[in-house]
Structure 1
Amino acid sequence: MPGVPSNKACERCKKRHLKCDETRPKCQRCTNAGVECPGYVQTRKFIDQGASVRRRYAPYQDSHPKSHLLRDAETTGEHPNLNQSGGQQIAGSGQPSTILSPADWRSSESNQPDTHSPTQSRTNSIKFPRINAVNLMTNTPTETVSTDMTGLEQPRSVSSRSAGHTPPNMSNATSPLHQGIAHGFRARPPSSNTGTGSPSQPSERDEFQDIFSELMTGTEHEIAFLIRHFSENLGPWLDISDSTRFFQVYVPIRAINDPFLKYAIAALAAKHLGRMKGIKSPVGGGMFTSPATMEMYPNATQVDWFLKATNYYYLATSSMNSSVSEAYTSVSSSAILESPIQIASRWLTLQSRNSSFLVEEPVANTFWKKTENILAASAIMIMCKIIDEPGENWQSHLSGIRPLFDSLLQLRGSASHALHPFPQGIRAAFWNFARLDYLGSYINRCPTLFDQGNLSLWRAAGISIDDSGNLSLNPEVTVDKTLSQEDLAANSLTWLVAKVINFLAESKKSQWEQLTGHSSSDPPSPSPATAGSTPYPSTFAWLKLSFDFQSWFERLPETFRPCLQLDHPKDISKLPEVIYLSFPEIYYSLTSCAATMQQYHFGRLALSLNRPPDAVSGPSTAFDRLQGYRELMKETDYRCREICGIALGRPQSAARVYAIPLLFAVGQCLENPEERQIVLDLLRGIEADLGWETGTRIQKLQASWDQR
């Protein structure tokens, strides 16, 4: 908590070792000497000695009435009774004092000499040492980072409401762990300036805003701010193929009664704000009307959002562990380090020992609703993990999803709903896992975790597949009547693309066996997802996949047609020169359709580049092979143009976040330097706009291009 000033003399008297009369705003000794008084600098210390210190200094509020404190709380959007948290009073030896109100700060700043500019008073840095704690979110080593206290957010007033809110920049700051792991911090006193001008020191307002934002961890305002940020910006990522918007609408409502859902949402929102340096992109905001209080956060760009994300992830894991087992009185460290998939599997294992309760409708509904909430929290926490990690690590966070959903399928079959699909929340979580599964599998060139041959599982997830593996896009014949045509088409394509990824994994294994001379029984052993399949991909399997893709495309509803397309867009940044871009711009009315069509062209591109040789019907002459290569180049160029064209149309963020592996695949096919630069700019734009890590993909592309 803040302490009293360590020295009240002005800077000139301190340097000359003279007794200062401490007259404000200028001391009388400097005035009599005919020199400009440099002013007073208050060096404060930050301590945390528990409730005893807060009780000791709590009564000192006589110099500022409560009306000032209430006005300050309304200005910052927080509760007025902050003295309960121990962060309001200024503690230390000597005469007690209180935090100044914004009006007092403005008056004190106006009384300062002209040499004390507001910019100079905010340029000093405060270093916060990071507490040594288990970092559950990132692999960043503990260190001390300097925080530049610039870009202070001004208090909310009538003029600022009319002008709108301009988010300032943020510096990557580290601050202590307040909730869940540790609490308390100490700031290094700023060093005085020995130059001729006035010393550059952080103002009291800067210091208070920084302390205030730290004390807001877990408060009602911060939770509301993060949950709204999730619902507006991040929920659509998880609802890309769910028109009912389970994550965007239902999950925040269920978070009211389920703490692990609330903390999981807060963890992902805080992690995203950390990646975005504390800046929120406007969602449907007006240009004149002011934002709501829950849309703003004091000093947002100076907050260590990564630390808050770690706190909330810890709380989400602890709450989920306590929820799945009533026997837990305190959560052990080993249980906290479990992945959310492992926690959900343990919950289902406990429930599967006695599944007779699923026959009773009220009890069964309670069980399935809790299962929905646990899987929703797991999907959110996994996205919180992978948002800043390279694609090679995505699949490691999904380990265990196959036995988890096998257990769910078994529990569903033991109840009276054997022929019914999974409930809404389980389906929404399943398709998020399935999408990340095949994208991570493609990057690692390995089989998917989900078994494509388990047709009962995919039917329970909502798509219609007959026993021969043929898809149907007619909502009337599907098991789930609530799915829209767009959702059914998008989820069916996910199943098809996952089959292509397994086909590529088998092709890679076949090439490895041919190069090393190992038989199919030697390592690498077939994965569970492909056990029992043909060890060497055949032309028949390739043709079957190509036929399934074409059939899927021909049965699409009208909404999958682009409503806008510029085949030869002009580069208006280089006017008056007329320069045309290398790719078209394609725009879809529905975000899910844009993302689905990108994945469709990606699947066709992967199939075209990995057609197995056929000794019987393959080309027999060199000219035939040359013609085949030309046809392949035309197909590759068309698919790459479509994928990049949809990306250049700048769809909503829900479509862009899943395009990283797709653009990486396109970049490996391009030869033109201008086209390569467009792909790099698209990848950099995803990281800059949405916070997803793309640097690894860019480095790999540049390395592969340098080798050619």
Structure 2
Amino acid sequence: MPGVPSNKACGRCKKRHLKCDETRPHCQRCTDAGVECPGFVQTRKFIDQGASVRKRYAPYQENGPKPTTAKAKRQHLEVQNGDGSSLQSQGQSTSQMPPLDDVDHRPAIPSALDSAPILPPIQAHASNVVCSGMMYSAAPDSSWPGSDARIGPPATVGDASAGAGTFTEHPSQPSPNTRPSLSRTPSQRGEQEEFQDIFSELMTGTEHEISFLTRHYCEVISSWFDVSDSRKFFGGYVPIRAIDEQSLRYAIAAISAKHLARMKGVKSVFTGGLFTSPATMETYPSAHQVDWSLKAANYYYLAVSHMNKSMSDYAAVSTSDVLEPPISVVNRWLNLQLKRGEEGPRTTDGTWKTTENLLATSTILTLYKTFDEPGENWQSYLAGVKQLFSQLLGLTRKDGDRHFSPGVTAVFWNFARMDYLASYYNRLPTHLNPDDIAVWQAAGLSLDEQGNLDPPDVPRTQAFSREDMATNVLTRLLNKLTNYLAAAKKSQLENWVGGSSPEPSSRSSSHSPDSHPTTATWLKLSFEFQSWVERIPETFRPCLRIERPKPSPTDTSFMPFPEIFYSLTSCAAAMQQYHFGRLALSLNRPSDDIAGPSTAFDRLQSYRELTKEVDYRCKEICGIALGRPQSGARVQMITLLYAVGQCLERPEERQIVMDLLRGIEADLGWSTASQVQKLQK
């Protein structure tokens, strides 16, 4: 097969996917950027030269032992020297060994890659590449400005002082701090980068990559969905369903790849062993150099494609179908099932399982969309949620049931939380109507016809734990609160533009999202929040609390906020949201010309009480955040910290809130830059 030039662009332009003007010896784009041009690759590559590629890039041992001991590690490094001489014989000990910049760290190519065709990333999922024996742990990039300052270099296996939150180094892996030698020629660096790009494309969709991403989902991301679900549908059932459901499998891979892209390929092992080797599926070759954003986009395309194929007999999927929101895809599926139900028997268990899988896929892909978007854009991705659960309710009643299945219930509460958090930024009504009693009853709440909670001695119809039930009741209250804030904003805008005053009858209606707020509505919401906190179980009490913590033992100053820790993640998230609800109610009480303060002293006293209430709620919210709860609670506190930051006045308090927001982005990958920027303004 005739050889063709590998690439005419310089190494830097090709890596950044920019058009190079090919000016020799240095391209103009690199010159304008003020950086050294790495030069141009002059070699020619042949697709069928697998053996020569393997010989060129690294020595390959098909059945070589895995060097997991220190002795085997030294032998492995001696082989890489090429002359067979021992490092000890050269007068150098392993502890005094210079940086391995001159040692070739290019990964060995498995024999399975020799015959594997080079396919586009979204078509290589049929390949099955054996990837054991060349696993590289991801190293944190110290040049990343958004990384946490506490994240240091990985601890070695022999470092007994390493904490549980540090990054561990595989004994058989090269040091993560090792970078390609700058003394290499531009041609050599270009060859290595091109090889890594080709290798990364070949890994897309393989058994190892899917296993790596699925495990990352189970260990990190699934807890974000299971905050109020002690049965762990997204953490326990969804990965099992993904074995047979391709759309769910690719959705898991998409959200995991996007999270790794936000984290620059760094995977922190908080629960991993300090002295044991990681499993093969826990590691990925050169994870910090992989284009995870491209992989995430490919997996998202595959997930949506398989969702559409499940509703059509056609193999091809149009571009418009791929661009359609995942919620709309499920709505089309449910509409099809409702039409079939009118002509045939009741829905089978297999149909309900498929429905749950599609709902779980849409939930994960919706989070994929909102993961790095500003809060003002979140609500647009939830369009169609109301129609979604209205159709699910009709499908459920057609089968003679009154409640959603466990999988549908888990999806409902995830969308309900997303709904009120997204609506808060724009002060718009939520998609889910909190006064649609039938839907909330089907989701597991014990409500009467007026929407009030039944007494606690009434037996529950769903197998919820007491913590799950209390958290879900609070979620409905927060949806009602968000609609109240939206109505208050609408009323204020009408007063500013000189709109006509609404009729008294419309003011008294609190069931419509468009109704204007009144003192009676405010009092009813306040009473419901107070009733909620009086009925919660004892697990909602913090198990640890430091009123005046010090940043360090040597400091003489104290933190302005306490540190509060809860033993259960769901309780920490719920109590933080409860204080947020009471804070929003305090700041948005409507004026009452009849029962309001009549004298200047009464008004001053009312202002003082409001200030005390706001300070208390802000300290509780920040105290729970400073206690560093699990990630399932931290991903939900972005909106709450943004609201608190607008109430604080002292510079040190404002700085703590901004540091907490930046820490969420550095630790979990969630975008908080827009919230920080607004608070700074």
Q: Same fold (TM over 0.5)?
A: yes
1:519-572: per-residue Cα shift (whole Å, max 9, x none)?
3789xxx9xx98846732111110000000010100000110000000111120
1:193-238: per-residue Cα shift (whole Å, max 9, x none)?
9xxx874643977765554333211100000000000001000001
Q: 1:486 to 1:70 in 2, by over 3 A?
A: same
Q: 1:5 to 1:333 in 2, by over 3 A?
A: closer
Query: Alignment partner of 2:545: what SS?
Result: strand
Q: Are 1:213 and 2:200 an aligned pair?
A: yes
1:23-63: per-residue Cα shift (whole Å, max 9, x none)?
xxxxxxxxxxxxxxxxxx9957586xxxxx64x54676997
The CA deviation at 1:517 is: 1.6
- Residue identity in the other structure for 1:393: N
Q: How does 1:70-469 map to 2 (within 5 A)?
A: 70-71=62-63, 105-107=80-82, 118-119=100-101, 163=171, 168=176, 199=185, 201-202=188-189, 208-325=195-312, 327-355=313-341, 360=346, 364-417=348-401, 419=402, 421-469=403-451
Among the aligned pairs, what percent are the same residue? 53
Q: Are 1:675 and 2:653 an aligned pair?
A: yes
Q: 1:62 to 1:618 in 2, by over 3 A?
A: closer
The CA deviation at 1:102 is: 8.8
Q: 1:402 to 1:167 in 2, by over 3 A?
A: farther
CA distance in 2 between partners of 1:62 and 1:389 (Å):
42
1:10 maps to none
Q: 1:118 to 1:478 in 2, by over 3 A?
A: same
- Residue identity in the other structure for 2:534: E
Query: Alignment partner of 2:62: what SS?
Result: helix
2:147 maps to none
Q: Unpaired segments of 5 or more residues in structure 2?
A: 7-38, 69-75, 93-97, 107-119, 123-138, 143-152, 160-167
1:594 to 548, 572, 581: 572
Q: Are 1:501 and 2:482 an aligned pair?
A: yes
Decide whether the 8 Å contact of 1:123 with 1:150 is kept in 2. Answer: no
CA distance in 2 between partners of 1:399 and 1:635 (Å):
35
CA distance in 2 between partners of 1:398 and 1:58 (Å):
48
CA distance in 2 between partners of 1:252 and 1:595 (Å):
25
Decide whether the 8 Å contact of 2:566 with 2:629 is kept in 1. Answer: yes
1:566 maps to 546
- Residue identity in the other structure for 1:540: A
Deviates more, 1:278-287 or 1:603-612: 278-287
The CA deviation at 1:515 is: 1.1
The CA deviation at 1:578 is: 1.4
1:654-673: per-residue Cα shift (whole Å, max 9, x none)?
10001001000000000111
1:143-198: per-residue Cα shift (whole Å, max 9, x none)?
xxxxx9999x99x9999977598994899xxxxxxxxxxxxxxxxxx9x99xxx87
Q: Are 1:648 and 2:638 an aligned pair?
A: no
1:182 maps to none
The CA deviation at 1:295 is: 0.2
> What's the TM-score, normalizing by structure 1?
0.74
Decide whether the 8 Å contact of 1:123 with 1:149 is kept in 2. Answer: no
Q: 1:166 to 1:120 in 2, by over 3 A?
A: closer
1:356-399: per-residue Cα shift (whole Å, max 9, x none)?
58855xx5211111111001000101111111111011111111
Deviates more, 1:591-600 or 1:197-206: 197-206
Aligned residue pairs, count:
580
CA distance in 2 between partners of 1:287 and 1:309 (Å):
30
Q: 1:206 to 1:532 in 2, by over 3 A?
A: closer
- Residue identity in the other structure for 2:659: D
Q: 1:642 to 1:352 in 2, by over 3 A?
A: same
CA distance in 2 between partners of 1:290 and 1:199 (Å):
35
Decide whether the 8 Å contact of 2:376 with 2:422 is kept in 1. Answer: yes
Q: 1:329 to 1:613 in 2, by over 3 A?
A: same
CA distance in 2 between partners of 1:73 and 1:368 (Å):
48
The CA deviation at 1:683 is: 0.4
1:631 to 597, 609, 614: 609
Q: Are 1:68 and 2:46 an aligned pair?
A: no
Decide whether the 8 Å contact of 1:167 with 1:280 is kept in 2. Answer: no
CA distance in 2 between partners of 1:378 and 1:597 (Å):
28
Decide whether the 8 Å contact of 1:502 with 1:530 is kept in 2. Answer: no
Q: Are 1:512 and 2:496 an aligned pair?
A: no
The CA deviation at 1:286 is: 1.1
CA distance in 2 between partners of 1:61 and 1:601 (Å):
61
CA distance in 1 between partners of 2:382 and 2:428 (Å):
14
Aligned-pair Cα RMSD in Å = 4.1
CA distance in 1 between partners of 2:267 and 2:498 (Å):
55
Larger radius of gyration: 1
Decide whether the 8 Å contact of 1:121 with 1:202 is kept in 2. Answer: no
Query: Alignment partner of 1:565: what SS?
Result: strand
Decide whether the 8 Å contact of 2:67 with 2:171 is kept in 1. Answer: no
Q: 1:357 to 1:266 in 2, by over 3 A?
A: farther
Query: Alignment partner of 1:465: what SS?
Result: coil
CA distance in 2 between partners of 1:227 and 1:408 (Å):
28
1:629-648: per-residue Cα shift (whole Å, max 9, x none)?
10101110110000000000
2:644 maps to 666
1:315-342: per-residue Cα shift (whole Å, max 9, x none)?
00111110122x2221011111111001
Query: Alignment partner of 1:353: what SS?
Result: helix
1:585 to 563, 569, 589: 563
CA distance in 2 between partners of 1:165 and 1:616 (Å):
75
The CA deviation at 1:266 is: 0.2
Deviates more, 1:533-542 or 1:593-602: 533-542
Decide whether the 8 Å contact of 2:483 with 2:513 is kept in 1. Answer: no
The CA deviation at 1:471 is: 2.1
The CA deviation at 1:477 is: 2.5
Query: Alignment partner of 1:324: what SS?
Result: coil
- Residue identity in the other structure for 2:375: G
Decide whether the 8 Å contact of 1:121 with 1:203 is kept in 2. Answer: no
Q: 1:61 to 1:489 in 2, by over 3 A?
A: closer
